[in-house]
Chain A
């Protein structure tokens, strides 16, 4: 197989990969927006940040 043809096939595969990725991101983004629209009323889950360590007093 000539090198030019191999190059064209590889290029086509890369194009399919890029297109697939773009399509995946687009559908994910759209679904995310739709979900957010419906779940807007829900309260976010409670979150407790880790408290900074209390310094120990050794001078007793």
Chain B
């Protein structure tokens, strides 16, 4: 393969690394969620953008929160587990059962996110992509097939008005 064809091809996924991280995601998820194997998994993240104005310095700060998102089609349940890009650990899981949530929809603007309102007080907006290259910010995992399955589940079985 020539230099230019390689250059124009863009970044390629390291499938070995991706598979290793997918395995770690599964191990972490199963560690904290009972009967974890009955859930399919994707990696997602939340974005918390805040503006600041410190006198003559102003701008915005973005906080990224990495998530392992599991879904069980039969139960109509989504489980969200906070984690870190290197998957060294995870927090406590949060369950979103379709029968218990207030509403859920897919947002198109400003970001393409899966939004769930468990009640009137708060919401979670889950962003998910096939693959994100920045290992310092996001979990390195290729998930084209899983994301398509999650999108289908969310839009056709979980969305609620």
Q: Which residues of A contact B (CB under 8 A)?
A: 20, 23-24, 27, 45-51, 53
Q: Which of B34-42, B52-60, B129-137, B148-156 contacts A (4 or more CB under 8 A)?
A: B52-60
Whole-angstrom distance between the alpha carbons of A7 and B90 in the complex? 51
Do B88 and A50 have beta carbons less than 8 Å apart? Answer: yes
Query: What residues of chain A lie closer than 8 Å to B90, measured between beta carbons?
Result: 47-48, 50
* Partner-contacting stretch, out of B23-31, B99-107, B113-121: B23-31
Instruction: Determine if B14 is an interface residue (Cβ-Cβ < 8 Å).
Output: no
A-B contact count (CB 8 A): 38
Query: Chain B residues near A27 (CB, 8 Å)?
Result: 54, 57
Selected from B27, B31, B55, B89, the residue in CB contact (under 8 A) with A23 is: B55
Distance in Å: Cβ of A55 to nearest Cβ of chain B? 14
Helix, strand, loop or mixed for chain B's interface?
Answer: mixed
Pick the most buried of A24, A48, A49: most chain B CB atoms within 10 A of its CB. A48
With A50-B27, A50-B28: A23-B92 Cβ-Cβ less than 8 Å: no
Q: A48-B28, A50-B28, A51-B31 are in contact. Are A20 and B91 (CB under 8 A)?
A: no
- Closest chain B residue, CB of each to CB of A47: B89
Between-chain CB contacts (< 8 Å), 17 pairs: A20-B56, A20-B57, A23-B56, A23-B57, A27-B54, A46-B91, A47-B90, A48-B32, A48-B89, A49-B88, A49-B89, A50-B27, A50-B31, A50-B88, A50-B89, A51-B27, A53-B27
